[in-house]
Structure 1
Amino acid sequence: MNKFFEISWVVTEAEAPVLLREFLKSKQISKAALTDIKFHGGALFVNEKEVTVRTFLSKGDVVKVYFPPEKQSESMEAENTTLDIVYEDEHFLAVNKPPGMPTIPSLYQPKGSLAAGVLFYYQQNDIPGTFHAVNRLDKDTSGIVLVAKHRFAHSLMSKQQREKTIKREYIALVHGKLEQDNGTITSPIGRKPDSIIERMVREDGQPSITHYEKLNYLSIYHISVVRLKLETGRTHQIRVHMASIGHPLIGDDLYGGSRDIIKRQALHSETARFVHPFSDKEVLIKVDLPYDMRKLLK
């Protein structure tokens, strides 16, 4: 049996009278979403009766939207993978991804992805939907990955991404002692010639802004603990920017870091803060550093 995601509202006095089409537009349901609902098995209801977008609404009317059933991606297989779920509601879940786990399957690592684990979790918990990552992390970066449970939630969070209202903070361990306690790096980033993976600072690159704050210096290893905030989300942005000022991440041998004391880039997505698009309440998610980084700090 196909399952639907549904959402409902009660029309307020301030909103009425209004055409259903305009009401749904005010709730950020796009024309594309309405077309999807109309032609792919969704439905619109007012006071328990199926209607069209041309229906007029009055104060107190109950509007329900049934979104079309979602099929799991045929390119991904569900796998019984242990997930550290640190936040969940009917619209989102957040997973504390360990280092070494890819966010989605790739040609080089087709098994053991976060996406495959989430799909299995959905199957076990009777959650209709496929994998909608709000953000992604490199395979060896640990920390918070936010996942939308349905297309509408994903579209709302994608809008927040574009408007830069989702705030994330990262912790990194970098080589050397930073001269300044805090600073901002604004160097543009682009693809490195002859590489499909590596990025570099280049004049014709995309605008990129990283703020950093030095938290501590560990003289025994000659490394600094740094908190970072991004204004842009370029591929490998933190790794490229820190290397560009002479402080590559430890373990990040792609950008000049040494793997002597840790075998992956020491980068962790520690916090995520956003306004929940369905409740309008602020959500703050924070996760501890993984074992390999904690061990160095001790």
Structure 2
Amino acid sequence: METKKKGEWCEITVPAKWNGISIESLLKVEWELPKKLLHQLRMEKGVTVNGEQRRWNELLKEGDKFQVHMFMEEEYGVEPEYGELHVVYEDDHVLIVNKPEKMDTHPAEKGGTGTLANLVAFHFQMQGLETKVRHIHRLDKDTTGGVVFAKHRIAGAIMDRLLMERKIKRTYAALVEGKVKKKKGTIDAAIGRDRHHATRRRVSSKGDEAITYYKVEKYFKKHNTTFVTLQLETGRTHQIRVHMSHNGNPLVGDVLYGGQTTYMSGQALHAMKINFLHPITKEEIEIDVPFPTKLNNIMKEFQRENV
């Protein structure tokens, strides 16, 4: 699908699959925009076809130039801060970055700095973009890997819905202690707060539904650790960490949930792959996110010594 950014507007050449559908159907059915955003677009006359205002019940034709007011100027919402930012995917609508360890995804309070969101704000600033920094999901401070940001309000609304509908698939890599008994499995155990600890979670029948799928990739006998890949059906706080500890295999370095720091400090957990349908074009996006140097070196060392 051909899309072009023209100032604050996005111009899309109507493809064959949109031929014969109304403007309203495109916005409400194809993109499934929330009512509030639809109302805003109506009020600001934020949709044109071939440069002209049209009734929303008019039908689109293949080859039409469908224009939407997407890239309006907004405050960043966080302080721009210079720092190294590893971008793994970017277009006019979506940004995916590789979060390092020991960094929060966003500030805990207004004016906070030192987070991934601050670096993204600076990245936008250097591009001449004035748009709100919208993280679609978060990673724990010591978890590394891919984090998705939306670059405008329409992409943000669509990506938020995709996340809620569990249509953004994230694959994680983890190094856990001990030998995982089953080659692959499902951990279905509700998670709630631990009333004895301010930040810790625990498996609790009174908690929220939590489902984790795991697959054993490699057992390192000499170090008695297992490399596993995981996917989440749900997205509870500390879900993988809680579930693997509950399974008897805490993450290497995850002191909060019983892991040891023999090989590394901070949990050995990395968001290694992200899959989703692009919010605007509906094309399948699959992004591999490189491992951090420390975890990569440990894995290589274990592999070498396991031969």
TM-score, with structure 1 as normaliser: 0.89
AA aligned to 2:239 is Q
Q: Does 1:50 align with 2:53?
A: yes
Q: Which residue of 1 aligns with 2:37?
A: 33
Distance 2:60 2:254 in 1: 59
Q: Secondary structure at the match of 2:68?
A: strand
Q: Secondary structure at the match of 1:238?
A: helix
Deviation of the 1:174 alpha carbon? 0.9
CA contact (8 A) 1:167 1:274 kept: yes
Distance 1:138 1:269 in 2: 11
Q: How many residues align?
A: 292
- 1:183 to 1:14, Cα distance in 2 relative to 1, 3 A: closer
* Deviation string, structure 1 residues 45-95 (Cα, Å, up to 9, x no partner): 232123454x63463553322137242244x10001111101111111111
AA aligned to 1:127 is L
- 1:13 to 1:134, Cα distance in 2 relative to 1, 3 A: closer
Deviation of the 1:287 alpha carbon? 2.0
Give the 5 Å matches for 1:36-115.
36-39=40-43, 41=44, 43-51=46-54, 53=56, 56-57=58-59, 59=61, 61-67=64-70, 69-74=72-77, 76-106=78-108, 110-115=112-117
AA aligned to 1:32 is K
Distance 2:60 2:143 in 1: 50
Distance 1:197 1:59 in 2: 54
CA contact (8 A) 2:76 2:131 kept: no
Distance 1:131 1:42 in 2: 24
Give the 5 Å matches for 1:129-278.
129-278=131-280
Q: Does 1:21 align with 2:53?
A: no
The RMSD of aligned alpha carbons is 2.5
Distance 1:138 1:5 in 2: 35
Distance 2:60 2:220 in 1: 64
Distance 1:293 1:11 in 2: 44
Distance 2:251 2:87 in 1: 27
Stretches of structure 1 lacking an aligned partner (at least 5 in a row): none
Q: Which residue of 2 aligns with 1:284?
A: 286
174-183 or 240-249: bigger deviation: 174-183
- 1:8 to 1:281, Cα distance in 2 relative to 1, 3 A: closer
Distance 2:214 2:48 in 1: 49
Q: Secondary structure at the match of 2:192?
A: strand
Q: Which residue of 2 aligns with 1:119?
A: 121
Q: What percentage of residue pairs aligned between the two structures are identical?
A: 36
- 1:236 to 1:21, Cα distance in 2 relative to 1, 3 A: same
Distance 2:29 2:238 in 1: 36
AA aligned to 1:140 is D
Deviation of the 1:119 alpha carbon? 0.6
AA aligned to 1:222 is N
AA aligned to 1:176 is G
Q: Which residue of 2 aligns with 1:8?
A: 12
- 1:132 to 1:5, Cα distance in 2 relative to 1, 3 A: farther
Distance 2:183 2:15 in 1: 51
Distance 1:180 1:11 in 2: 47
Distance 2:11 2:245 in 1: 46
TM-score, with structure 2 as normaliser: 0.86
- 1:58 to 1:100, Cα distance in 2 relative to 1, 3 A: closer
Q: Which residue of 1 aligns with 2:305?
A: none
- 1:13 to 1:153, Cα distance in 2 relative to 1, 3 A: closer
